[in-house]
Amino acid sequence: MTKFLIRLFIVFCWLTCTAQAASESIVLGMGCFWGAEKRMGELPGVLDVETGYANGDIAGDYQKILAHEKALKQGETHRRNHAEVVKVSFDPGRVGLESVLAHFWESHDPTQGNRQGNDIGTNYRSAIYTSSKEQLAIAHKTRMAYQAALKGAGRGTITTEVAPLKTYYKAEDYHQDYLKKNPNGYCGLGGTGVKYPGFASIGKTASPNGPLDPKALNLKRQLIVFETEDCAYCKQFKIEILDNWKSQVPVARSMSSQPPVGWRLEKALFATPTIVLFENGKEISRFTGYNGDKPRFWKWLGFHLLTPKQQQIAFERGTENPGTGSHLDEKRPGTFVDPITGAALFRSDAKFNSSTGWPSFFSPMPGALTEHVDTSLGMRRTEVRSASSGIHLGHVFDDGPPPTGKRYCINGNVLTFIPDK
């Protein structure tokens, strides 16, 4: 029995040592480590990805790192902060270090210095921290190769720090597998869209498609949805928003991380979907991520389409003074639509003169409105909102004409009228 246990122990040790010998690890900084963990974990041959903190002069604690970054910005300290990193363990027999680093270069923008997208600070720096001279040599080799590819694409200079690993701390448990535990409505954008030379891209990288042709777009006002092929949130946005698009603002989809030629983004994209509103070829505003909250998206767009008076009605449940709103005397055949989404709300043949000072209708389009109890002003009323955008329209009362007996009392300033052709 004793001999059997000894042999079993020897076999166990051999298997353990073999497994350890078959794996290699490298520490990479790509901005926020949540997205980096997800992206590097998509690479075949990667065995494990762990979030952590590396190559700083302080304790490896998330809150202390944030506080230290604030102190650095205020000039209160000169001690080096950690970078948010991922420790990537991989099987060299299945994927080589150069392939791992090719995926690293393609999966973020290494030209942004101490930032990555909206995350700004030395703790979000791009970095490769190596554990051997061989790793360091390969890291420098891949940096030179990718810099040449970036230069050929007209992009900037790589700022990635390449150095031996000096200190490393595993991040807190709640930071491990964060995006699996907390889906947040966006996918990390695949970097610059420039391919690492000589390697087929693996995973969710930016599409090789070039920027949109500005000649096919509306220079005065244009929405562009920047997306990637494998982004589930992009697909959800397409199904729930784009497939039924009726808004007055033209919309286009782009698989490139770059704006149309000659147009300008205010800052680099860091996630998809990102919906950008351009006016005269310049970014006016952007909406990043989509998790099914349609009213939130339409409210964002509405703040750029509606006047301040319209916004007060639509988003603050305001009321225009009687006799001052639009469409009170509109009698032409046509459809009254949501001013943001363009969805049909009322037909003109359901409109009647209620002598109240507000446009009134006895029936909405099917499914166009939602009803909500309103107890403001010491009264109990039924508020009506647009089902498509969620904006406030007015109230419905039980004193209307046949055939419904309803009076939908609507603020005319939050209606758009489209006459029949």
Catalytic residues: 32
Kind of pairing between the strands at 119-120 and 115-116: antiparallel
Asked if 229 and 277 count as a contact pair (C-beta separation under 8 A), the reply is: no
**Exposed / middle / buried, residue 174 (Cβ in 10 Å: 0-12, 13-18, 19+):** exposed
CA atoms of 201 and 204, how far apart (whole Å): 8
Asked if 231 and 225 count as a contact pair (C-beta separation under 8 A), the reply is: no
Asked if 296 and 313 count as a contact pair (C-beta separation under 8 A), the reply is: no
CA atoms of 384 and 369, how far apart (whole Å): 6
CA atoms of 227 and 252, how far apart (whole Å): 11
Report which residue type is found at 300: W
Asked if 416 and 314 count as a contact pair (C-beta separation under 8 A), the reply is: no
Query: What is the DSSP track for 11-75?
Result: HHHHHHHHHHHT-EEEEEEESSHHHHHHHHHTSTTEEEEEEEEES-SS---HHHHHHHHHHHHTT
